[in-house]
Amino acid sequence: MPQTQSSTLALARALIARESVTPDDAGCLELIAERLTPLGFTLERIDRNATSNLWACRGHGGPIVCFAGHTDVVPTGPLERWQSPPFEPSERDGYLYGRGAADMKSSLAAFVTAIEAFVAAHPDHPGRIALLLTSDEEGDATDGTIAVVDTLAARGERLNYCIVGEPTSVDTLGDMVKNGRRGSLSGTLTVKGLQGHIAYPHLAKNPIHLAAPALAELAATVWDQGNEYFPPTSWQMSNIHAGTGANNVIPGSLEVMFNFRFSSACTEDGLKARVHEVLDRHKLDYAIDWRLSGQPYLTPRGTLVDAIGDAIDATCGLRPEISTTGGTSDGRFIARICDEVVEFGPVNATIHKIDERIALDAIEPLAAIYRRTLDNLLLN
């Protein structure tokens, strides 16, 4: 087995063995720091509250290429349903099993060994290499990557290229790269009525009946047509609650939770204004509590998309699909200070599931893709 392969696999196993459920880093950052220090990286801990964050950088001048990711993992679920303990990495049937194997400790290991190989071959490389790592991606994401981005922004520092190691592949390593993500805007709508006896509706105001036409209109609204990179914006209701539980009481209020996944063809303010226009036109007595989880971000085809696409082609013999589908990621924060951001990592079929795993024969190619991307960005 080649040294780089055994090194990547060994590091992935060591990371999986650390029980780093959000926001506990469980020593993952210290393990990675031990590998970066001999390479000449400057290491800076930017911890906030219970979250562990690391900013590491090597080199001088030129473009800066950043690898970004998270050491934290989601809870395991019922331990008895795992074929092997989730924090005891296990190899069988051609896979490495363990919580975080795909999301995203194998990517972290591949980051490190790719950088080690690149620096060994080019100790005086042009440009800079950086890592931005956090233990707060799977949770509220309030004290992790955003804390590092805030710190860098306050210093006036910007990144040129960033690769987030999220598991983006669908059926085989390299078949999909994310070049952006939709924004996420949530709202809790409260429609006020007047509680009363259901046999005397003229003495009450049923907020369910009052709101139903407006909700139907919102559900049928075409918010935009999307664009070359994004599907059309989606508005979905996730929860509806009203009533006391009794079947003879008209409720006094209705609560509706909803979410926009919106493209770069829309804006936060524009979506809010259109919702208010519909509700106002239906003459509802209402209030909305809005929450923005992230703005959409997009990296059009260009230097970074081409660099990682060429690296995947050279390693796996295929051209990746470029996509913006899926949920949000920490890329939404990094895009504030970075010119080009993409996400790329292993197959995501088992992430957050029982018996999470990654194909053993994908681990070394993953490191090779990251290494070739560095070549393409800093040497060509």
Dist. CA 246–CA 14, nearest whole Å: 55
Whether residue 362 sits in one domain with residue 282 = no
**What's the sign of the alpha-carbon dihedral 73, 145, 236, 256?**
positive
Whether residue 165 sits in one domain with residue 209 = no
Dist. CA 332–CA 182, nearest whole Å: 9
State the pLDDT at residue 173. Answer: 98
Residues catalogued as catalytic: 72, 137
pLDDT reading at 372 higher than 80: yes
pLDDT reading at 1 higher than 60: no
- The tens digit of pLDDT for each residue in 164-200 reads 999 999 999 999 999 999 999 999 999 999 999 999 9
Q: In Å, what is the CA distance from 8 to each residue of 13, 121, 140, 206?
A: 9, 17, 29, 62
State the pLDDT at residue 3. Answer: 41
In a domain, 359, yes or no: yes
Whether residue 79 sits in one domain with residue 116 = yes
Which residues have CB under 8 Å from 14's CB, separation 6+?
31
Which residues have CB under 8 Å from 376's CB, separation 6+?
306, 307, 308, 310, 311
Domain count, the chain: 2
Question: Looking at 294, 319, 344, which one is the last position of a domain?
Answer: 294
Whether residue 300 sits in one domain with residue 227 = no
State the pLDDT at residue 327. Answer: 82
Whether residue 145 sits in one domain with residue 94 = yes
In a domain, 2, yes or no: no
138 appears as a binding residue in the annotation: yes
352 appears as a binding residue in the annotation: yes
280 appears as a binding residue in the annotation: no
Residue 380 binned pLDDT confidence (cut-offs 50, 70, 90): confident
Whether residue 166 sits in one domain with residue 259 = no
CATH code at position 99: 3.40.630.10
In a domain, 1, yes or no: no
- The tens digit of pLDDT for each residue in 72-116 reads 999 999 999 999 999 999 999 999 999 999 999 999 999 999 999
Whether residue 163 sits in one domain with residue 53 = yes
Whether residue 246 sits in one domain with residue 139 = no
pLDDT reading at 5 higher than 60: no
pLDDT reading at 297 higher than 70: yes
In a domain, 308, yes or no: yes
Chain-centre distance for alpha carbon 139: 11
pLDDT reading at 2 higher than 60: no
Whether residue 217 sits in one domain with residue 175 = no
Whether residue 139 sits in one domain with residue 113 = yes
70 appears as a binding residue in the annotation: yes
> Residues of 125-158 as b/e, b for ≥16 C-beta within 10 angstroms?
bebbbbbbbbbbbbbebebbbbbbbeebeeeeee
Question: Looking at 268, 294, 320, which one is the last position of a domain?
Answer: 294
- The one-letter code for the residue type at 225 is Q
Domain with 375 in it: 7-181+296-379
- The tens digit of pLDDT for each residue in 194-251 reads 999 999 999 999 999 999 999 999 999 999 999 889 999 999 999 999 999 999 999 9
- The tens digit of pLDDT for each residue in 37-76 reads 999 999 999 999 999 999 999 999 889 999 999 999 999 9
For residue 275 the two structure tokens come to 């919702």
Dist. CA 118–CA 104, nearest whole Å: 21
Whether residue 36 sits in one domain with residue 156 = yes
Residue 292 β-bridge partners: 185
Mean pLDDT, rounded, for 124-128:
97
Whether residue 161 sits in one domain with residue 248 = no
For residue 59 the two structure tokens come to 């080199």
- The tens digit of pLDDT for each residue in 308-358 reads 999 999 999 999 999 998 888 999 999 999 999 999 999 999 999 999 999
Question: Looking at 228, 260, 294, which one is the last position of a domain?
Answer: 294
Mean pLDDT, rounded, for 272-288:
98
pTM: 0.88
CATH code at position 214: 3.30.70.360
Reported as type and span, the H/E element at residue 58 is strand 53-60
